[in-house]
Amino acid sequence: MGRITEDLIRRNAEHNDCVIFSLEELSLHQQEIEKLEHIDKWCRDLKILYLQNNLIGKIGCEGLTKLDLTVNFIGELSSIKTLQCNIQLKELFLMGNPCADFEGYRQFVVATLQQLKWLDGKEIERSERIQALQNYPVVEQQIRQQEKAYCLRRAKDKEEAQRKLEEEQENEDKKRSNPGFDGRWYTDIDATLPFSLESKDHLPASEIGKEECNKTELDESEEDLAFWNKPSLFTPESRLETLRHMEKQRKNQEKFSENKKKVKPPRTLITEDGRVLNVNEPKLDFSLKDDEKHNQIILDLAVYRYMDTSLIDVDVQTTYVRVTVKGKPFQLVLPAEVKPDSSSARRSQTTGHLVVCMPKVGEVITSGRKAAKSVKTTSDIIKEQTNKRSKQIEKLEVDPSKHSFPDVANIVQEKKHTPRRVGSEPKRIPSDDDPDFEDNPDVPPLI
């Protein structure tokens, strides 16, 4: 922390495929950098550099068109003269630095860096530059005096920060050697202890541990509150002190979380009595289909589309199927027994879903038809009977017991029938036996 390294630049050059020799723009804000160095050697084509919110106290960088040093600790404003040779520099940001509060700050920068077009986001007018150049000797003397006063304050701040750091280190050492010491001295021990040793001996170990843990949390919370309420100066040392405190709090929180963290028991997939459970730990959508046409069960598992297939493991058993996705089990009980050896699994090329086909046990799979345990309809039965009849050869057989020869003696010649005229009807001759017959003597007889 505090130095610019080649690794730091590469990690912040992902947009340029971590190549730094052709890097044109670089952002290193909030990296706690204290000094600008080596950037011009590693990044020769660098044009824009963002260094907001660091610990930089002096300026020194070349080959840039834009330099952002917002919220740093630049108090030696005369250090900007190192940028005079950088004729490509057009934009400069120094707001939030101690030097920005100096009287004559803007006039000094405008007169010193005549290649600038913008300062702190405000365009530099031609008239402003002419006036700054005219007042430059007086302004430069004012800046020198303010810099000297700033350096004296910084020396005192450094001494005070060093003294506090040594005190904190001494207290930390005492705490390590004596865990019960909290950095404060007491005259009445009985009045300060939460309970006496006698009462502590009667408590269970778990209660003692909880009491000590709660006391530690209370002390740390009070210490944290006191730290943030304490007034501090805007100095690099105070910033470093804040960073150290935040790092300490983070480590304490991680330690506390590890103590409270319980080991998660492994997921139960099969109970002790052999019962298989349905488990969906990866929380994936799925569908289970009974394909009667092909006599198989199909599982469609919505695996992540871009997941590598090597992270998926499939295990098919006779009564259940188990799919492990990135170490998380998915297990499903099947509605019928299947053949594990004949099962297959594949990934969809469009959706990425995992499709597992599992043939059922006890039935023969033919070309799209089931040969056993199939429900037959009336039309199927009629078709089968018709097919059986067509395959059988039918022959005409005569019963010998019923065989007889015709009687030739009784054969008579058939009478010849005269053809009738179409539409003519034979005349009816009444007979005496006809009940409707009436004999009329006046009628002559028929010839």
3-state secondary structure 127-182: HHHHHHHHCHHHHHHHHHHHHHHHHHHHHHHHHHHHHHHHHHHHHHHHHHHCCCCC
Task: Give the HSE-up count for residue 215: Cα atoms under 13 Å, Cβ half-sphere.
Answer: 14
- Most confident region among 165-174, 187-196, 381-390 by mean pLDDT: 165-174
Q: Letter for the amino acid at 125?
A: E
Which pLDDT score, from 0 to 100, does residue 365 have?
45
Share of the chain above pLDDT 90, in %: 26
Tokens at 148, concatenated: 């000297």
Mean pLDDT of the chain: 75
- Integer Cα distance of 397 and 392 in angstroms: 15
Q: pLDDT tens across 98-122, in order?
A: 899 999 999 999 999 999 999 999 9
Closest listed residue to residue 147, CA positions, set 99, 194, 182 = 99
Which pLDDT score, from 0 to 100, does residue 435 have?
62
Which pLDDT score, from 0 to 100, does residue 259 have?
66
Q: pTM for this one?
A: 0.42
Q: pLDDT tens across 49-91, in order?
A: 877 777 776 667 656 788 888 888 888 898 888 888 888 889 9
